[in-house]
């Protein structure tokens, strides 16, 4: 049993310690005796998404996203096919923005996205910065509870946001979670949505990184990846007392 993880552009997209998400996935595999192979995919590197189980797509500045546009456009068809086949993908901040049709900068310059999801992003007049406390959508909360029974049925999401973009989801495309009143701006500071969930694609604005404080989401990604392989999706429980303590500390912070 092996989980193959691809980290896209780790040399350019690694704001706010986001590589900790990859480290968390690998650690939770190791603690369970599951082999884990990491592939770092940089500009121009050969990579086949069909041979991957989990993709991590982090965040970067507007300049870095512009640099990646041409390389990403060449990867879009293969990535779209793999996602339709159930590939698991976690995209954070800039990675989330690049899943959509475009990102418009404060100067009005427009960077084309991958158009993998029905969403788009435009620069706002001020940054959304601070701790976020959000409630997972019922479908995702139930799936996370099945994947990580040791996490005491957590149905919430915590993290830190720092973004100037305003992301808008198309009709019928659900968010990953809903921010609590006064507890974060989420995708755009207006509609209460945080991130996106489509099939096995998870997008979020939460840094910090996300997965160490949200073990139920980490295990959900691993469970979905195993199920896609035809493996049993039930993961042996871990002692997540410290992770849950960190989660609840953030949840109660105002």
Rounded CA-CA distance 159/175 in Å is 16
Q: In 43-109, which ranges are continuous DSSP H helix?
A: 62-84, 94-98
What six digits make up the tokens of 14? 């690694």
Contacts 24+ apart (CB under 8 A), 35-39: 35/1, 35/2, 35/3, 36/2, 36/3, 36/4, 36/5, 37/2, 37/3, 37/4, 37/5, 38/5, 38/6, 38/7, 39/4, 39/5, 39/6, 39/7
| Terminal CA-CA length for the chain | 42
Q: How far is CA 163 from CA 59, 62, 124, 206, in A?
A: 10, 11, 9, 10
Q: Is 29 a catalytic residue?
A: no
The one catalytic residue among 36, 93, 148, 247: 93
Q: Extract the tokens encoding 39.
A: 């592939």
Stretch (H or E) spanning 147: helix 138-147
207 as an active site residue: the answer is yes
Point out the catalytic residue in the list 7, 36, 148, 207.
207
Q: Which residues are catalytically annotated? A: 93, 207
């Amino acid at each position: 049993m092996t989980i193959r993880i691809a980290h896209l552009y780790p040399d350019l997209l690694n704001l706010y310690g986001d590589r900790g998400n990859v480290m968390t996935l690998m650690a939770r595999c190791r603690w369970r005796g599951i082999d884990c192979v990491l592939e770092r995919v940089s500009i121009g590197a050969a990579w086949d998404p069909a041979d991957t189980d989990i993709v991590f797509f982090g965040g970067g500045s507007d300049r870095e996203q512009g640099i990646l546009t041409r390389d990403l456009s060449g990867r879009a068809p293969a990535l779209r096919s793999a996602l339709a086949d159930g590939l698991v993908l976690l995209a954070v901040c800039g990675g989330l923005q690049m899943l959509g049709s475009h990102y418009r900068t404060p100067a009005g310059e427009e960077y084309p996205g991958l158009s993998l999801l029905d969403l788009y992003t435009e620069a706002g007049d001020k940054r959304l910065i601070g701790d976020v406390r959000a409630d997972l959508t019922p479908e995702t909360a139930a799936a996370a509870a099945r994947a990580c029974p040791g996490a005491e049925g957590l149905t919430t999401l915590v993290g830190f946001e720092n973004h100037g973009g305003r992301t808008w989801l198309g009709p019928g495309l659900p968010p990953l979670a809903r921010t609590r009143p006064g507890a974060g701006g989420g995708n755009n500071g207006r509609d209460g949505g945080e991130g996106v969930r489509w099939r096995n694609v998870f997008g979020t604005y939460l840094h910090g990184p996300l997965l160490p404080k949200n073990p139920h989401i980490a295990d959900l990604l691993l469970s979905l990846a195993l199920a896609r392989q035809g493996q049993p999706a039930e993961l042996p429980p871990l002692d997540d007392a410290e992770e849950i303590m960190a989660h609840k500390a953030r949840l109660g912070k105002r």
